[in-house]
Chains A and B, each alone.
Chain A
Amino acid sequence: MYIKRYVLTFPPDKVDEPLTYNLIKDYNMEVNILKADINAGKEGKLLLEFRTGKDEMERGLKYLKDKGIGVAPVSKQISLQLEDCIHCGACTAVCFTDALTMKKPSWELDFKPEKCIVCGLCLKACPLNLFKIEFY
């Protein structure tokens, strides 16, 4: 079983095609949608996690590329400048994988990078601008 994350970029004319449905039906992929930004008439972006066998993964990705979809592997992570954190908790409001939680009873911010799906919402939620996306 292969597990990989990709950002798919859809040109405006492909936004309405049921690509995810085809990936599931024809390529036996388990698809987890981590983030979606689809707007009719505009370019759309999807952050997906695929789970499937090696051959099906390759065939599925080829199918997407042949359709004119941008396929970029995700290789980024969120970093936090914890030494400047005031532990207000504002970032925990937007973190739904519980990578960011408040420790009890100390009320200190607890960041677990292994739970992070790099959705990037914490970058906008932190009033001190302490989160960054790192590419590697």
Chain B
Amino acid sequence: MGIKKTYEEINEKIKKGKAVVLTAEEVTKLAREKSPAEIARSVDVITTATFGPMCSSGIFINFGNPDPPVRMEKILLNQVPAHAGIAAVDAYLGATAESVTDIKYGGAHVIEALIKGEKVELQARGKGTDCYPGKEDIRQIDKDSVNEIFMFNPRNAYQNYSVAVNCSDSVKYTYMGVLLPGLGNAMYSTSGELSPLLNDPDLRIIGIGTRIFLCGAQGYVSWNGTQFNPEVKKNQYGIPINNAATIAVIGDLKKMSSEYIKAAYFEKYGVSLFVGIGIPIPVLDEEIAAGVSIGNRQIETTIFDYGSSGKPQLGITNYEELQSGYIRVNGKKIKTAPLSSIKKARKIAHVLKGRILNREFLISKPVQQLKD
């Protein structure tokens, strides 16, 4: 009979300051010497993390009613359009929304500014009604002047992602960076063995209600992410070898830190947002221990030609090769480059580990599995 631990038992250990917590990289090193059974016995929680561009992100804001009240039907925040089709003074600002005056500035920049505590100009207009007679509201807002402001990202933290190359004869400017012609380079994202959903390949731990680190604040997994696809082919280690599961996440922007978020502009693609996410994985049993022990060599992913229509598949590689600096595609040695920051992901994994050790962060059992 293998070891079994419950969420409650692990939380009791955290509260007593007795929990053993390692980062996903640390446990992968430990797994070279110890079996999953030994890891399940000796380690309680693994911290995973990622810091990469996640376009499907945004924030809800309730501005509070001006006097006279305005039924806000058109909204600009620092000249970036926000979605105004929710009640009178609620809005959703998407990270990739572009300013009406500068395509290199967008929702992501406004979100970063708000997290930093900076002032942002609100311009709102409505047609004027009996109960909302005002037609215009122009004022400076910040995160403290609005009623509620929370991040809700419909698709984050992809469980694995494609490698992008370009077989065409022209440069391709993409959300995966600048792809040089004639297989000039290869771009990859996800933080490999540190990445949250890759450490829980069967999604036993990460589910609806899981408490997470979201841009420095405590947030939650609220649903499966959009384009969630658990049907992707898995390799011999149980790792899906292409874009698979995703999570929708939520958290209070007022408690976030600008250290774990960064607005970005990808040349000739548009604005995006680097989002920092950390997720603790409680080591409940040997199977969970085996999942978190998986290293970069075992995590495979698929190479696609972003230069041709239909993005034909060109082969399979793994994160050890990708992180070595070169892979081979069609017999050619190609330079690789990451798109998500391993340095930042490591920092998040260590900060989350520290918070658990300091009893500031408890693990939570999902209310429902994502697969259901």
Contact = CB atoms under 8 A, between A and B. Distances in A.
Q: Chain A interface mostly helix, strand, loop or mixed?
A: loop
Given A102-B338, A107-B343, A128-B264, A86 B177 contact: no
A11 interface: no
Contact of A89 (B265, B267, B341): B341
A37 to B, nearest CB: 12
A121 B185 CA distance: 13
A127 to B, nearest CB: 4
Categorize the interface residue count of chain A: 20 to 34
A116 B182 CA distance: 23
A88 B341 contact: yes
B338 A89 contact: yes
A93 B266 contact: no
A96 B180 CA distance: 11
A124 B267 contact: yes
Contact of A88 (B185, B265, B336, B338): B338
Contacts of B104: 129
A15 interface: no
A46 interface: no
Interface in B145-181: 173, 177-178, 180
Contacts of B53: 88, 127
Interface string A66-94: 00000000000000000000111111111
B304 to A, nearest CB: 16
A88 B191 CA distance: 10
Nearest to A100: B337
A92 B339 CA distance: 10
A90 B187 contact: yes
A80 to B, nearest CB: 16
Interface in B80-110: 104
B274 interface: yes
B173 A124 contact: yes
Interface string B310-344: 00000000000000010000000001111111111
B344 A93 contact: no
Q: Which of A86, A87, A128 is packed against the most chain B CB atoms within 10 Å? A: A86
Nearest to A108: B343
Nearest to A121: B178
B344 A86 contact: yes
A64 interface: no
A87 B341 contact: yes
A90 B267 CA distance: 12
Contacts of A129: 104, 265
B51 interface: yes
A86 B341 contact: yes
A124 to B, nearest CB: 4
B262 interface: yes
A95 to B, nearest CB: 9
A91 B272 CA distance: 16
Given A107-B346, A127-B53, A89 B337 contact: yes
Nearest to A125: B178
Given A89-B341, A90-B177, 13 more contacts: A86-B341, A88-B274, A89-B337, A90-B187, A93-B178, A94-B185, A107-B346, A124-B173, A124-B178, A125-B177, A125-B267, A127-B53, A127-B274
Interface of A: 86-94, 96, 102, 106-108, 121, 124-125, 127-129
Query: A-B pairs with the 8 shortest C-beta distances?
Result: A93-B337, A127-B264, A89-B338, A107-B342, A124-B267, A87-B343, A93-B185, A125-B178
19 contacts: A86-B51, A89-B337, A89-B338, A89-B341, A90-B337, A93-B177, A93-B186, A93-B187, A94-B178, A102-B325, A102-B337, A102-B338, A107-B338, A121-B178, A124-B173, A124-B267, A127-B53, A127-B272, A129-B104
